[in-house]
Structure 1
Amino acid sequence: MAGRLPGAARADSQNWVPRRHHRHIGERFTDTWADSIVEIEQVTSSRVRDLEKQLEQERKRADSEASKRREAEQKFKLLSLQQKSARPADDDTWLSIKVAGADVTGPLAFALLFGGIYAAWSSSNEAKARQQQGRWVYDRGLGGKKVWVPYKTGAAAGSSDLPEQLSDAAFEELTSKAAGLAAEQRRREQPYQPPSWWQAPMSFAADDSTRAAAQMQASALLARIEQAKNRGEDYKISDIALLRRICQAGGGVTVDTRTVGGRDAIYKAAVEAAMRRCLEPSSVDEADLADVSPLAFVAGVAQDVQIPDERAVSLAANWVAGACRARVVEAYTAAKKGDDVLCATALAQLSSLLQGMPVLEAGSSQVGLISDELKGWADGETLQRLYGLAMQLVEPQQQQLVSSMLGMRS
């Protein structure tokens, strides 16, 4: 057999082997680089074949549906001819069907019958089309090629499937996000209006130099407050009250906290001081609240640290509700033990808090949470005794609210 010339064409089959130019720039040259490229090409070919099979099945299914439709039309035409030949004397009644006990003939019967056949055929096609919905994605494993990925059965196009096992925490996170989006949509449609009890802070008129000096003082004081917190110290209500006075004297200047969490923490310290003023007046005097009412102090600090009114109102209501719950539980525990003095003290503090910070309403969600919790573990007899004592101690305008907290009807 004559020797083969160098570079001559070969007729025998040989597996494809990549050359050096298939390597990417910067890729390390190893002993297995060729095998890796061959494996990727084989996987690519396998996926392409699977997609071709899927497309072929779709074409066959479409042809089958078309043939079924033609067969239904032929059967309908044959039935029409049979009906017409059976009653040749009456051309108007060559097709008759019963609808609600009455005979329907002529063109109306034809329309009803054909409409039923078409509705059955179209509903079948729509159901199968929904099963084949999906989207195009770019597969990195295929070198960035575009492939079709069908949705799961019952999933609509454009929807994002939730995991099969969704934890309670994840579900609550989803619901909170949905509620936040809904609230945002409501804010866009209708501007937020604070409740009547929200006391907007008053500011004094100030010139530019006074505002600039107040801004520098407020920023320096805020830096000192934040540094003390970083050292592990609690917020001093005297510093927060001084910040309120500086911002008010400067014509309503505001400060920028480092973080949103720090901003809310300063506001919470102000709300807690206002609640202590209502619960234990001797522990917090008016000077600690910048010589204003508890609600005015709370609203002023919210403006100083730039908390939106809607969020400030919501946070204040939640924290006041927590303090009310603590007094209700304390009063119930004392009533359960038969300690009427301690029970009366807790109810008096509850009344004082509701009088100084009337931020809750009888039908609010916070009040509903308090009553729902009591229903879970409190006994009815003790609740009745507590309710009777509360109606004697709280103010008349507070009776309906306290009754709602206890789950009673006033």
Structure 2
Amino acid sequence: MALGTNQRFYVSPKQRDQKDKMVVREFSEVFSKYLVLRFRQTVVFSSAFLEVVISAGAGVKAWAVQRMFWGRSSLYRSSFHFVVSLVTIIAVLSGISTRLNIISASSSLESNSGIIGRQDVIFQSGTAETIFIASANQPDYPVYKHKVEQGETLSEIAEKYGIKSSTIRWANSMSTDTIRVGQILRIPGIDGAFVQVKKGDTLERIAQRNKGNVADIIDLNSNIIDPQNPVLTEGMELFIPGGEIPLPTAAPVARTYAAAPRPATGGAVVVPSGTFINPLSNCPGYVYIRGFSPWHGGVDLAKAGGCWINAAGNGRVLRAGWGYAGEGFHVVIDHGGGVWTRYYHGTRQFGVSTGDTVTAGQSILYMGCTGYCTGTHLHFEVVVNGVRVNPESYVRVR
């Protein structure tokens, strides 16, 4: 049956509900597919972008490594040279400024400075003060420059620096203690001796010859000796801490002994070899404990409790007093003809004074243990023309 124009198509409520549910379900399915598609696209695009970034970073890293390290390229050299130049300029300007400040603040400093012991030093006359400028070749011990002033003696200078007179003599190639005003002395800060390496020398041979220690020599000369490969070259100057310079061997002297020296006409004293008397001839019971050697310039004679020491021959007393280089209380006698005798380590009991005339056998000093001493004894020396020689070539002491 056909519907008229005024009639409507009738849909029941149940049919309407089913149609609505179908529309909602279709929309949900389509929307879910859309979300899945978009998520998949986002993941793909993100992965591709991350891969591009990683590849680019690896390329930059490889380029930088190649430029900065592998090839040592111009970029590396330019950067390195710039940094080194900047640091060098700052260090130089700082050093100049420091030196100018030192000089301007110390008007008493001498203007003449020099390289002493491979150190750049500015020194002040007559004092133990030294200003050190840092140096890459600086040794591990101080070396001073001292200008001798009026009235100074070698023993006084040695005491000022806390070292032995012999250390100063050896450092300046001096055979005696004589110094002159204005003389420039090289003074190590510790006891020892400078030696020059001779052809064929080894560290062991130098240590044995100069009474040193191989380890100490390497340690204090590490600025010129490689501790891992200590190679010596002829002419190289080494400092031997605590070392000594061997005494020259004296010509042998015939052992002829006499009771006493004989005065010459006019009052001068002539002392031929072999004419001294034993300085302990009136000290029974003494003991001979040490003899003459290249590193021990006399003989040591000991007596428990001490005794009076006698002059070994006629002469004039050059010195009677305290010695600052290990002598302690001591007496030095000039016998004429370039011959001296020395008597070390006494007590304060003197039998003579400087300038006195003495005769052989006269009491001059009481035995003790002063200066560099480990027990009561007499250290007796004979000096001929400034060189210490074996006293037993001149006098019988045992």
Structure-1-length-normalised TM-score: 0.24
Name whichever structure is richer in strand by fraction.
Answer: 2
Superposition TM-score, scaled by structure 2 size: 0.24
